Amino acid sequence: MKVNFQKMKVGDYMARRNLKLDTPDNIRKALAKVANMTYKGEIDPKTANSITATCNAILGGIRTDEQEKKIAELERIINE
């Protein structure tokens, strides 16, 4: 999953970034980018909070999927 966001800056410069949110490592990198962009004033804190909440929701889903795979593997081993 990729997230595109943009914001008007001084001089009508349009900031545009792509964030890959498909793995925990990519989510960590995306959150670091968002933090830097917020610090630099490239995005407003409200947008940063929305992106952070989205990242946390996706990360929770990834963790759930990983746990379900581990449980299924353990059940397969037990039933052998």
- The SS3 of residue 23 is coil
Distances (CA, A) of 54 to 2, 21, 76, 77: 12, 9, 33, 35
For residue 5, is pLDDT > 70?
A: no
For residue 14, is pLDDT > 60?
A: no
Q: What is the pLDDT of residues 19-48, one digit of tens each?
A: 899 999 999 999 999 999 999 998 999 999
